[in-house]
């Protein structure tokens, strides 16, 4: 019976036999890009005398922390697993026994974070090493960006780091699908992209950090720009009139005031209306004068 799963990340890099990685001699290695907050999927085929033989999976740290260990047993051609893990993540194992000497196995680490960058080793009769890069976008200020103010965008892994390690991978940052290299308002310095001034047209746009692999696969992480702007000036009146000449007993039409804001503007005509609607009704000879509309956004700017 084949195991079913949905890929969340992809492998880049091909087998490289007997390579050295963080002090380990690896029979094969794989490089992985995993967006922060998603699931890292590790997959490998184990060959040889696998029945009733233990294998384990660990991250290479100073403490050489074991994530889990597994004893392989077979019952009625099904793979039975018993494992303990010390990882802070949830861990799942999926497997398929193809023959007495070939076992396909995939193990997942859920909700990965920046702490999960590094090298992992799956060891059995041989060692398979994985280099994991966690992809991250951090925007400062964090909660929202003020219109006409600068914004810092930090990305990981750094493009210069990837270029030194992997010739077949390139990193690109896009805003609303356009590379920042084509934007005159954006300055790049390694892991920092500086936008000199954001405008309300960027509100709700995606910032995308993408790893482009040589086999055509693209792995990316996205963040949304939240731009705080407004109230816009001048305001809009509906109907678009500011002077009304009426005679006594005429009915003044309702006037609605609007303004583009994020967050929404709080507009009020005070005692002369209901919220953003000026409602004077029937006028008399004492109705002459000017009416003003005070307004502010939800954070108090006028």
Q: DSSP labels for 61-96?
A: -TT--EEEEEEEEEETTEEEEEEEE--SS-EEEEEE
Give whichever of 104-108, 217-221, 226-230 has the largest mean pLDDT: 217-221
Tell me the torsion sign for CA atoms 5, 166, 87, 38.
Answer: negative
Mean pLDDT of 5-14: 32
Q: If you average pLDDT over residues 158-179, what whole number do you get?
A: 86
Per-residue pLDDT at 104: 80
- State the Cα–Cα distance between residues 177 and 220, nearest whole angstrom: 12
**Burial (CB count within 10 angstroms: exposed 0-12, middle 13-18, buried 19+), residue 245:** exposed
215-232: average pLDDT? 88
Of the pLDDT bands very low, low, confident and very high (cuts 50, 70, 90), residue 206 is very high
The segment with the largest mean pLDDT, out of 1-5, 179-183, 204-208, 215-219, is 204-208
Nearest Cα neighbor of 210 from 240, 169, 238 is 169
Residue 67 vs residue 117, higher pLDDT: 117
Q: List pLDDT tens digits, range 41-88.
A: 988 887 766 666 667 777 776 455 556 555 555 444 445 444 445 556
Fold of 141-228: Immunoglobulin-like (2.60.40)
More confident residue, 132 or 58: 132
Q: What is the mean pLDDT of the chain?
A: 76
> What CA–CA distances, in Å, run from 104 to 42, 44, 63, 95, 99?
11, 6, 28, 6, 10
Whether pLDDT at 156 is above 90: yes
Predicted TM-score (pTM) of the model is 0.73
| Alpha-carbon span 162 to 225, nearest angstrom | 26
Average pLDDT over residues 200-218: 89
Instruction: Check whether 296 has a pLDDT greater than 70.
Output: no
Residue 159: helix, strand or coil by DSSP? helix
Q: Which CATH superfamily is domain 10-134 in?
A: Immunoglobulins (2.60.40.10)
| Contacting residues for 253 by C-beta, under 8 A, at least 6 apart | 239, 244
φ/ψ of residue 164, rounded to 5: -70, -35
For residue 290, pLDDT beyond 80: no
291 falls in which pLDDT band (50, 70, 90)? low
- Residue-level pLDDT at 298: 41
More confident residue, 94 or 22: 94
pLDDT at 66: 56
Would the pLDDT of 255 be above 60? yes
């Amino acid at each position: 019976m084949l195991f079913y799963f949905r890929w969340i990340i992809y492998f880049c890099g091909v087998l490289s036999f007997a390579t050295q990685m963080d002090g380990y001699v690896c029979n094969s290695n794989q490089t992985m890009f995993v967006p922060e907050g998603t699931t890292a999927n590790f997959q490998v085929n184990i060959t040889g005398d696998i029945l009733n033989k233990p294998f384990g999976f660990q991250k290479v740290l100073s403490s050489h922390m074991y994530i889990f260990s597994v004893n392989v047993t077979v019952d009625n051609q099904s793979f039975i697993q018993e494992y303990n893990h010390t990882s802070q993540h949830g861990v799942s194992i999926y497997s398929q026994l193809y023959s007495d000497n070939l076992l396909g196995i995939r193990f997942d680490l859920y909700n990965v974070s920046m702490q999960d960058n590094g090298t992992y080793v799956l060891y059995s009769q041989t060692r398979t090493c994985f280099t994991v890069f966690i992809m991250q976008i951090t925007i400062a200020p964090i909660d929202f960006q003020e219109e006409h103010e600068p914004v810092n965008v930090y990305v990981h892994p750094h493009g210069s780091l990837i270029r030194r390690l992997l010739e077949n991978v390139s990193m690109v940052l896009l805003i609303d699908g356009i590379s920042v290299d084509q934007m005159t308002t954006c300055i790049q310095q390694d892991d920092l992209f500086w936008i000199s001034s954001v405008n309300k047209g960027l509100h709700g746009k995606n910032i995308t950090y993408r790893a482009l692999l040589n086999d055509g696969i693209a792995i990316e992480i996205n963040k949304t720009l939240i731009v705080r702007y407004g109230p816009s000036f001048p305001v809009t009146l509906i109907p678009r009139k500011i002077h009304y000449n009426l005679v006594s007993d005429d009915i003044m039409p309702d006037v609605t005031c609007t303004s583009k804001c994020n967050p929404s503007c709080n507009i009020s005509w005070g005692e002369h209306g209901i919220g953003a609607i000026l409602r004077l009704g029937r006028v008399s000879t004492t109705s002459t004068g000017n009416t003003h509309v005070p307004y502010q956004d939800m954070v108090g700017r006028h």
